[in-house]
Amino acid sequence: MTDLLIPYYEHPSVRPAEWNAIIAAAPRLYGVVLNPAGGPGETPDPAFAEVAARLRNAEVRVLGYTDTDYGRRPYADVVRDIARHRHWYRADGVFLDQVAANREEFAHCQRLATAAWGAGCGTLALNHGTTPDPCYARIADLLVTFEGTWKSYRTLAPREWRGAGGVRLCHLVYGVPAGVDLTEQARSRGASVHCAVPGTGAHPWGTLPHGVEPLR
């Protein structure tokens, strides 16, 4: 079951063992979010290009990280990042972060989706961090409907999804204690894709998910 999405925001030359562990976990992965520099960066990074190629060779979906700042970031800047991920790292799709969840912003997001498809992106993942208006399911392959701490997640009640049935839902949880398997808890809350990491603070996604351990 490809139920694990890994947003791992560390450089391959600094954490090679961790990246090797991610690639070794390929059969479990829905995909990996590639984030060289809060996006694709200003110039291609050979280390990220190499790890992206290794992921693709392992049949892992590569998603290029792009921030939308809840619709405040200029359209042209977001589209430029999408194109760079495609051209520099041959990303299979895009992971749009900080996406607005209300219906009023949908038209802007739909324009971004059209640009991503035009650039050749096969997968569109939208990180709302909360349950969005169901209209977003019309354009997305994956909706992140929760991103937050383990403490908050434990109080999250099951919530019926009223959008289209073809989209997969994802929960990203940090500060998760060792030994916790999020799979069944995520499913009980409607998410078939998840990631649970031990990291906390401003940069939790610099830690690997539980169950993906580097070989020492």
Report strand pairing: 29-34 vs 62-67.
parallel
Contact between 124 and 154 under an 8 Å Cβ cutoff? The reply is no
Buried b / exposed e along 133-142 (16+ C-beta atoms within 10 A): beebbebbbb
The pLDDT value given to residue 83: 98
Closest CA to 197 of 171, 159, 168: 171
* 47-to-25, 50, 54 alpha-carbon distances in Å: 19, 5, 11
Please choose, from the candidates 52, 17, 22, the residue with its C-alpha nearest in 3D space to the C-alpha of residue 36: 52
Distances (CA, A) of 135 to 101, 107, 143, 161, 169: 9, 10, 11, 12, 14
How far is 27 from 106, CA to CA, in rounded Å? 34
pLDDT in tens, 136-195: 999 999 999 999 999 999 998 877 777 777 899 999 999 999 999 999 999 999 999 999
106 contacts: CB under 8 Å, gap ≥ 6:
133, 135, 136
* Cα-Cα-Cα-Cα dihedral sign, residues 112, 53, 41, 88: negative
* Sequence letter at residue 33: V
pLDDT of residue 166: 86
pLDDT in tens, 78-126: 999 999 999 999 999 999 999 999 999 999 999 999 999 999 999 999 9
Which helix (H) or strand (E) segment holds residue 33: the answer is strand 29-34
Q: What's the pLDDT at 2?
A: 80
- Round to whole Å and give the CA distance between 192 and 183: 8
> Residue 1 above 60 pLDDT?
no
Whole-number pLDDT of residue 95: 98
